[in-house]
Structure 1
């Protein structure tokens, strides 16, 4: 259903618009008699298309367009006016209107314009799909992307300036993410290694991916991120380091016509904030078919505990294979859950490492260390399952992401021959 708002102080003009719109199916129309009423209606709900008169009492169409566009950029506004002059047209377009038509309205031209806007609205509502996506999080991204070639300190400074000084993103973690990327870039350039950064996005997320990371080993990068970017959501795979940055949800602003506030207060109210996802809200939106699999995670966790205890008693490739096989079943369920890519990445990283582990190179004392930490990890993820999906008490569904990855890395470091370079960490210039 396409929502259309007709704004005009003349009742006959509104009736004319209603008659013209009868040409279209699956639309719902609402009327407003002036700009102030239009603003109030738009604060209550989103309208896909607004037909806006210019000359109206109380609040005119130019002001109303500017205010509405300040909190709802996706609504499409078509200005309708008896004023056929460039000044009025330019003022409406500068205020945010997509188009301008003069009265009296020519039927065929009106129908053509509205048909085009309805098509755009319908296409917007379809989820984008890009099979050429660079990031490993999602293929549901816009067709556009932005690529930075990092081959000099100047190109790195351009990245910094674009995201922290120019781009209008309201993302809570953006500054921390860019600082980490800047540090990685500095380290890579010092080692005479250039690389590319690709930015992709959709309505909900910005994805920033660093390509061809070869100057730092994976374990060092993981430790640096866990230490310096605890809230980061990332996947490191095949020399690609990709970050997912959730975009902020807009908090509706106070009605400015009824409350007098200064410019500074208005600028604060205009800001957006990232809202944490409550467990109760997340579970409510989770498919029933997945909930059955989530309940079965308790049985899988019990099998993992049994396999870990057996591995401590008899550490060989067969008992280790039993652990990785059962852990794969656990990961399969987590992989199907929206919003838990980072959680699944942590478990996948550990499992992939264990699958390639050569036990002949491991000291006997390390098997007991592994068993203790692995059982502790299983306790943590069982607590995660209960707090989110059973008790629904978690205030943030991502409360365990960072500590889980840290534990997985700690387990991996027991056996890993790929030492974390203290020199690498010391060379990182974080500020």
Structure 2
């Protein structure tokens, strides 16, 4: 699906919120933006337009975001849903996560975080379509001399698709194995994207080695010109 259009449905009853999200989304290439003012419109639009990704508010008239997400997930289980809300209630977040959503972002929205999430989901669609791949290695290199829980994973980065695959892998691996990452992880991921983009812009090939101990995620960036170690301090809690 490398050259196909990704449909993104923005669902929010406040027009200004939709405008802000549209501005963020327009920085991403090859997308088509759809809009809905409430959950009912979101369900109807999903049935007719079949968006790949839905950005869902919770508190809306006529039908709220939870009911709409439940219907969409039951009828279109492959649709990716990111919840964007001002609610901070843990029970609400857990209920959404049980539906199998792909992200739960809190307002005020951090623009870089949403962009990273969307790029990761678009990379997911490409991987499912078979147009992208991830290279992994079961080596046991540990430059930080700490106990390894899983395995070392190596990513060869030459293009923005490769960069998105790295972000997708990190996001999926650390959010879908019964853990919750903090916003520090999203911020660090965004900073990593900016670092890698500089190398891509200069047409420099890079390899990224990902490791973890019991508390942290470690990235080693290896390029022809430098070696950089980056430590992500990731807070996790069991659900």
Normalising by structure 1, we get a TM-score of 0.29
Between structures 1 and 2, the one with greater strand share: 2
Between structures 1 and 2, the one with greater helix share: 1
Q: Secondary structure of 1:90's partner?
A: helix
CA shift for structure 1 position 92 = 1.4
CA shift for structure 1 position 127 = 7.1
1:259 corresponds in structure 2 to none
Unaligned segments of structure 1, at least 5 residues: 130-431
- Tell me if structure 1 keeps the 8 A contact 2:38–2:63: yes
Aligned residues: 129
Instruction: Please state if 1:39 is matched with 2:63.
Output: no
1:82 corresponds in structure 2 to 86
Higher RCO (CA-CA < 8 Å; seq separation 6+):
2
Q: Which protein has the larger Cα radius of gyration, Structure 1 or Structure 2?
A: 1
Among candidates 45, 54, 59, match of residue 55 of structure 1: 59
2:106 corresponds in structure 1 to 102
Instruction: Please state if 1:7 is matched with 2:11.
Output: yes
CA displacement 1:107-143 (0-9 Å, x = unmatched):
11111111111111122223799xxxxxxxxxxxxxx
CA displacement 1:272-320 (0-9 Å, x = unmatched):
xxxxxxxxxxxxxxxxxxxxxxxxxxxxxxxxxxxxxxxxxxxxxxxxx
Instruction: Please state if 1:91 is matched with 2:95.
Output: yes
- Alpha carbons of structure 1 residues 127 and 61: separation in structure 2 relative to 1, 3 Å: same
Distance in 2 (CA, whole Å) between partners of 1:62 and 1:94 is 11
Distance in 2 (CA, whole Å) between partners of 1:80 and 1:69 is 17
Distance in 2 (CA, whole Å) between partners of 1:124 and 1:34 is 30
2:33 corresponds in structure 1 to 29
Distance in 2 (CA, whole Å) between partners of 1:104 and 1:128 is 33
Q: After TM superposition, which residue ranges in structure 1, 4 or more long, deviate above 3 angstroms?
A: none
Among candidates 118, 126, 141, match of residue 122 of structure 2: 118
CA displacement 1:212-255 (0-9 Å, x = unmatched):
xxxxxxxxxxxxxxxxxxxxxxxxxxxxxxxxxxxxxxxxxxxx
CA shift for structure 1 position 75 = 0.7
CA shift for structure 1 position 46 = 1.5
- Tell me if structure 2 keeps the 8 A contact 1:5–1:29: yes
- Tell me if structure 2 keeps the 8 A contact 1:62–1:95: no
- Tell me if structure 2 keeps the 8 A contact 1:5–1:31: yes
Q: Secondary structure of 2:9's partner?
A: strand
